Amino acid sequence: MTPHWRVSKGFLARVSKKTIAGAALEAGCSPDAIKAIGAAPKGDAVTIALDAMKDRAWLPPMLRGRLATAADPQGDDAGEEPLLAA
């Protein structure tokens, strides 16, 4: 999904500044950009984040693949019933 999704103004406007700064950190943005996001008013923080993240691949947690767990080490739900019958 990462190659197909880019952060947008609409997305950032709907999340907290803390979430915006966390996303910028995860995306590998500079410490200066992250500090600027934290110090700026929300609208300006969105603009700063958009500029800092424009060429970076980052996905919000809800779009990331599920991680493997001890109960499902392959992360593929092997052996579970399908949600839809074929």
For residue range 39-54, list pLDDT tens digits in order.
999 999 999 999 999 9
pLDDT at 34: 96
- The size of the chain, in residues, is 86
In this prediction the pTM is 0.70
pLDDT < 70 positions in the chain: 66-86
Among 47, 49, 41, 44, smallest CA distance to 21 is for 49
CB atoms within 10 A of CB 33: 18
86 vs 70: CA distance, rounded Å: 28
pLDDT at 26: 93
Tokens representing 58 are: 């980052």
Q: Where are the alpha helices (DSSP H) in 3-85?
A: 9-13, 17-26, 31-39, 42-53
